[in-house]
Amino acid sequence: MNKCFAAVAVLVTAFNLAVSGPSPEIHLTGIPDSTPHCYKMTTNVTHIEPNGQRKTWEVYTVWLELTPKAEGDRVTCRRFTFREGEAPEVAIPSLQDWSYRLPKTAFDDRGQLFGIEQAKFERLLDEKGKVIPQGDAYMVFNAFVDFHSFCHVFAARTNSGMGIQDLHQIGDKIVHAAANGEAPVSMGSMVEKGSTFKNGEITLELKGSSTIKGESCAIVGYDSGNSSLHMILKPMPQMKVETYGGSHYWGDIFINLNTQWVQKATLAELVVSETAVPGMPTKLHSVIERWIVLESISSDQCAAELK
């Protein structure tokens, strides 16, 4: 008798699935509404030794306000903090309340990615007057690049298709317009021209729906595929240090279905690189693991955390 009931239950379930048809379409426009938004983003960087041990790490935290403007969205950094290993967290005063305008294209008229003023990150000082090392300063700059990658690349509408607007039903998957693209990553005197980052076959996938802080969200997964990098550093005028490496990053973006703003985003990345230093007989090898969480927060929460 139990087997009969089980068989009936299976048939009823199959019938319900059949008559219900495909899952309802999810509407992703890639165009958020005009309300200002606040975000908090935390980046954890771990250095992995050849024996697998995690020796050193850094934590970068930034609070940002994004204000839509017809001439280009205005981005304001309310605060940026940095912590190295077990050392106390310190703020970076020069970045507090600093703002810039997002250009209509990826680069502004000075060739700066996302309109981020590169000179701002040269010789950064923490609140105690200590110089932030060159590599860490680049990570500070890169935090802004990561933020825009979430909000203005993966979550944004693309003019030629192959963007988030082409995902309609759970299971839909596309190769993004930025796939296999190579972009310059030079930054003033810190990173020389000729330095590049090349994406692999970036894919977006509509994975499902969720609720975050009472807001209905679509879950969009992304994967970079096999990416590569070439960095040229000049720690001293007559010294050139070159790094070649590979990167693989992936994560999820939660899109608020009412506002089309990013509600939350995550990123996991593994970077493996090899660096040639003049005068050193052997090359330096590095393995870095990054974990990022971006969260939309209210203006009240932002103000309270910055007190």
CB 275 within 8 A of CB 303: no
Q: How far apart are CA 178 and CA 154, in angstroms?
A: 9
Cα Rg of the chain (Å, integer) = 22
Over residues 10-27, the pLDDT tens digits come to 333 333 434 444 557 899
CA proximity to 270, closest of 245, 239, 297: 245
> What is the predicted pLDDT for the residue at 300?
96
Q: Could you report how far apart the first and last alpha carbons of the chain are, in Å?
A: 67
Reading the block at residue 302, the tokens are 């932002």
Q: Quote the pLDDT of residue 23.
A: 58
What are the average pLDDT values for consecutive 10-residue runs of the chain, which has 307 residues? 42 39 79 96 95 90 95 95 93 97 89 88 93 90 95 94 95 96 77 87 97 96 95 81 94 97 98 92 93 97 94
Rounded Cα–Cα distance for residues 202 and 225 (Å): 6
**Which residue type is seen at 203?**
T
Query: Are the C-beta atoms of 49 and 55 separated by less than 8 Å?
Result: yes
pLDDT at 118: 85
Confidence at residue 106, expressed as pLDDT on a 0 to 100 scale: 85
In this predicted structure, what is the pLDDT of residue 133? Answer: 87
pLDDT for 270: 96
Q: Convert 86-125 to b/e letters by CB count within 10 Å (16 or more is b).
A: eeeebebeebeeeebebbeebebeeebbbbbebebbeebe
pLDDT value at residue 22: 52
Place of tokens 């807001």: 215
pLDDT (0 to 100) of residue 214: 94
pLDDT digits (tens, 9 = 90+) for 243-297: 999 999 999 999 999 999 999 999 999 999 999 988 888 998 999 999 999 999 9
Nearest to 143 by CA among 106, 113, 123: 113
pLDDT of residue 10: 38
171, 134 contact by CB (below 8 A): no
Q: What pLDDT was estimated at residue 264?
A: 98
For residues 13 and 5, give the distance between their C-alpha atoms in angstroms, rounded to a whole number: 12
Q: How far apart are CA 164 and CA 179, in angstroms?
A: 13
Mean of pLDDT over the chain: 89
How far apart, in whole angstroms, are the C-alpha atoms of residue 202 and residue 79?
31
**Residues 216 and 177: beta-carbon distance below 8 Å:** no
CA proximity to 207, closest of 193, 198, 217: 217
Q: Is 156 exposed, middle or buried (0-12, 13-18, 19+ CB in 10 A)?
A: buried
Cβ atoms of residues 195 and 203 within 8 Å: no
Cα angle 149-154-160, degrees, rounded to a multiple of 5:
120
- Look at residue 176 and give its three-state secondary structure: coil
